[in-house]
């Protein structure tokens, strides 16, 4: 580690902090003390460990409580992960209790009081140029872990204690400012998402003419609709398609509550894939596909391409009075998802299944075909504007997060000088 100021040193972690690798598991054992377990997700998802977190209940022996009990200004890092770049993610302990213990898959670092400030150590481990030492030291095939010895040999920049505290305070202020900007932008994303859903819902269930006279549809989930619209059960507007692939060589499609119907080849899917897709259901462009197991989450949509889908899905062909693009917009509304739940079967919400007899009971709004196409065009125009703003906001958030990471790395490695505090 070169280029440090004259009064800074480069030292191995073991010379500035004690460290232990925890073996306290979440499985309760008899004759042990009840404890709260700071586990992997607590560290990975939170920069700061406080008593406001919902810790897991576990047990530990007296020796384990003494060895792995958490103190204020300790730094806890992720020791094992399924991804090497998630190794060494730190969290700073700001609040603790006598029963709070560091859990399995984590390492507990306790700075030497006269040599290393806990908040500065935390920021060092957030800096990619420093933490990469742990990432490179990790070994494994499907799961990666840092050998305990490698933690101690990691090289850290060590300025005088007063400067460490000044740096930690400076980064607390600057990261809080950047975090506030990110939070404001994320609020904008949330509002855009809500506005998008509201716009599509209003257009699909009320049309695009605000002056159109309305009538009560008599259908609770729809409410009022334009008085010239029809409403009818799905069984009058769809027929089930149950044709099977002979070769299984057609494009394999998948159905998601986020993206509707898409080719599996376009998605990053790690789930088990069948050895053969012979006998899968044929799906043609314009067909409605409903994931029977996940319809309660909104996993349905209209396919834009020909292909095949899992035999566990149900495929429906819209009738001549329905435009497929209008159907896609309709079935992906959150209010429609809530309606199909009423006709799904199962004891628990996570086990609900939507079978054809249930789907066919659902009432749908049916405008004229020209009006359906007008609605689809209106939704496309208006959501395009929102999507442009969403993408711009997401880019801003990404840049703010990159700036935050770069700032931390630059400050703890002295590339940006922080005014020296009075000793």
* 221 pLDDT tier (thresholds 50, 70, 90): very high
Instruction: Quote the pLDDT of residue 179.
Output: 97
DSSP-assigned beta bridge partners for residue 107: 21, 77
Domain-located, residue 3: no
User: Same domain, yes or no, for 356 and 400?
Assistant: no
> What are the structure tokens assigned to 191, written together?
């509002």
Greater model confidence, 240 or 136: 240
- Asked whether residue 423 is domain-assigned, the answer is no
Query: What does DSSP assign to residue 268?
Result: -
Domain ranges, residue 274 = 208-366
Confirm whether 318 is domain-assigned.
yes
pLDDT tens-digit readout, 176-190: 999 999 999 999 999
User: 348, 366, 384 — which closes off a domain?
Assistant: 366
* Range 317-330 average pLDDT: 97
**pLDDT confidence of residue 142:** 76
Confidence tier at 144 by pLDDT (50, 70, 90): confident
Contacting residues for 44 by C-beta, under 8 A, at least 6 apart: 78, 86, 89
Whether residue 222 lies inside any domain: the answer is yes
Examine the domain organization and report whether 345 and 279 are in the same domain. yes
Is residue 194 domain-resident? no
End-to-end CA distance of the chain: 25
Q: Which residues pair with 238 in a beta bridge?
A: 318
Q: Do 269 and 376 belong to one domain?
A: no
* CA 121 – CA 234 distance, rounded (Å): 62
For residues 240 and 343, membership in a common domain is answered with yes
| 37 domain residue, yes or no | yes
Residues 6+ apart with CB under 8 A from 389: 192
362 and 222 belong to one structural domain: yes
Structure tokens given for 29? 């054992």
Residue 83 has pLDDT above 90, yes or no: no
Residues 349, 214: one domain? yes
If asked whether residues 308 and 385 sit together in one domain, one would say: no
100 alpha carbon, distance to own chain's centre = 27
What pLDDT was estimated at residue 271?
54
Write down the pLDDT at residue 269.
57
Tell me: pLDDT of 422 over 60: no
On whether both 105 and 248 belong to a single domain, the answer is: no
With bands split at pLDDT 50, 70 and 90, how would you rate the model's confidence at 272? low
Count of domains forming the chain: 3
The CATH number of the domain where 241 resides is what? 3.90.220.20
Query: Tens of pLDDT along 18-40?
Result: 999 998 887 777 788 899 999 99
What CA–CA distance (Å, rounded) separates 43 from 104? 11
CA distance 128 to 142: 23
Specify whether the CB–CB gap between 311 and 279 falls below 8 A: yes
Give the pLDDT score at 253.
Answer: 95
Beta strands in 313-382 (DSSP E): 313-318, 363-366
Other beta carbons within 10 Å of 59: 20
State how far the alpha carbon of 112 is from the alpha carbons of 11, 103, 161, 163, 305, in Å: 13, 22, 11, 16, 63
Mean pLDDT of 293-308: 95
Last residue of a domain, one of 333, 351, 366: 366
Domain for residue 195, yes or no? Answer: no
Structural domain includes residue 196: no
pLDDT of residue 94: 97
Residues 203-211 have a mean pLDDT of 95
Q: How confident is the model at residue 66 (pLDDT cuts 50, 70, 90)?
A: very high
Query: Partners of 290 in the beta sheet?
Result: 300, 314
Region of poorest pLDDT, from 19-28, 172-181, 394-403, 409-418: 19-28
pLDDT above 60: residue 423: no
Regarding whether 63 and 176 lie in a shared domain, the answer is no
Residue 283 confidence (pLDDT) above 90: yes
Q: What is the mean pLDDT of the chain?
A: 93
pTM: 0.84
Cβ proximity of 283 and 245 under 8 Å: no
The pLDDT-based confidence of 175 (bands split at 50, 70, 90) is very high
- Rounded percentage of the chain residues whose pLDDT exceeds 90: 83
Q: What is the pLDDT averaged over residues 125-130?
A: 95
Residue 270, pLDDT score: 54
Q: Are residues 217 and 262 in the same domain?
A: yes
Show the DSSP H helices in 75-147 as ranges.
118-126, 128-137
Model confidence over 358-387: pLDDT tens digits?
999 999 999 999 999 999 999 999 999 999
pLDDT over threshold 80, residue 4: yes
Identify the band that residue 84 occupies on the pLDDT scale cut at 50, 70 and 90: confident
Mean pLDDT of 311-320: 96
pLDDT, greater one: 42 or 27: 42
Q: Are residues 145 and 169 in the same domain?
A: no
Asked if residue 47 and residue 18 are part of one domain, the reply reads yes
For strands 260-263 and 253-256, give the pairing.
antiparallel
Instruction: Look up residue 257 and give its two tokens.
Output: 């509550």
What proportion of the chain, given as a percentage, has pLDDT over 70?
Answer: 97
User: 166 phi and psi, to 5 degrees?
Assistant: -65, -40
């Amino acid at each position: 580690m070169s280029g440090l100021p004259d009064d800074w040193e480069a030292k191995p972690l073991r010379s500035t902090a004690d460290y232990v690798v925890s073996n306290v598991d979440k499985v309760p054992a008899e004759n042990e003390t009840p404890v709260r377990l700071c586990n992997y997700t607590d560290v990975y998802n939170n920069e700061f460990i406080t008593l406001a977190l919902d810790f897991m209940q576990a047990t530990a022996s007296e020796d384990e409580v003494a060895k792995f009990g958490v103190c204020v200004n300790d730094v806890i890092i992720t020791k094992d992960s399924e991804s090497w770049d998630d190794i060494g993610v730190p969290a700073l302990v700001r609040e603790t209790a006598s029963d709070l213990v560091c859990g399995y898959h984590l390492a507990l670092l306790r700075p030497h009081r006269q040599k290393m400030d806990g908040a500065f150590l935390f920021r060092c481990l957030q800096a990619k140029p420093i933490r990469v030492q742990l990432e490179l030291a990790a070994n494994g095939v499907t799961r990666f872990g840092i050998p305990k010895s490698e933690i101690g040999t990691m090289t850290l920049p060590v300025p005088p204690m007063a400067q460490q505290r000044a740096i930690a305070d400076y980064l607390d202020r600057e990261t809080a400012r950047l975090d506030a900007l990110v939070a404001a932008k994320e609020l904008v994303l949330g509002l855009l998402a809500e506005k998008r859903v509201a716009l599509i819902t209003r257009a699909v269930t009320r049309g695009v003419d605000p002056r159109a006279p309305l009538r009560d549809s008599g259908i609770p989930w729809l409410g009022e609709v334009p008085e010239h619209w029809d409403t009818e059960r799905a069984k009058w507007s769809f027929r089930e398609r149950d044709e099977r692939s002979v070769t299984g060589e057609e494009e394999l499609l998948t159905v998601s509550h986020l993206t509707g119907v898409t080719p599996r080849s376009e998605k990053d899917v790690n789930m088990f894939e069948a050895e053969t897709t012979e006998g899968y259901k044929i799906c043609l462009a314009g067909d409605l596909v409903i994931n029977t197991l996940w319809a309660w989450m909104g996993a349905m949509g209209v396919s834009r391409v020909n292909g095949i889908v899992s035999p566990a899905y149900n495929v429906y062909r819209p009738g001549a009075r329905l435009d497929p693009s209008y159907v896609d917009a309709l079935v992906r509304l959150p209010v429609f998802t809530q309606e199909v739940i009423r006709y799904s079967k199962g004891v628990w919400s996570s086990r609900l299944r939507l079978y054809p007899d249930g789907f066919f009971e659902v009432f749908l709004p049916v405008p004229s075909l020209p009006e359906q196409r007008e609605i689809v065009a209106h939704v496309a125009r208006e959501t395009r504007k929102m999507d442009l703003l969403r993408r711009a906001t997401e880019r801003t958030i990404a840049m703010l997060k990159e700036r935050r990471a770069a700032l931390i790395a630059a400050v703890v490695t002295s590339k940006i000088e922080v005014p020296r505090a009075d000793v």
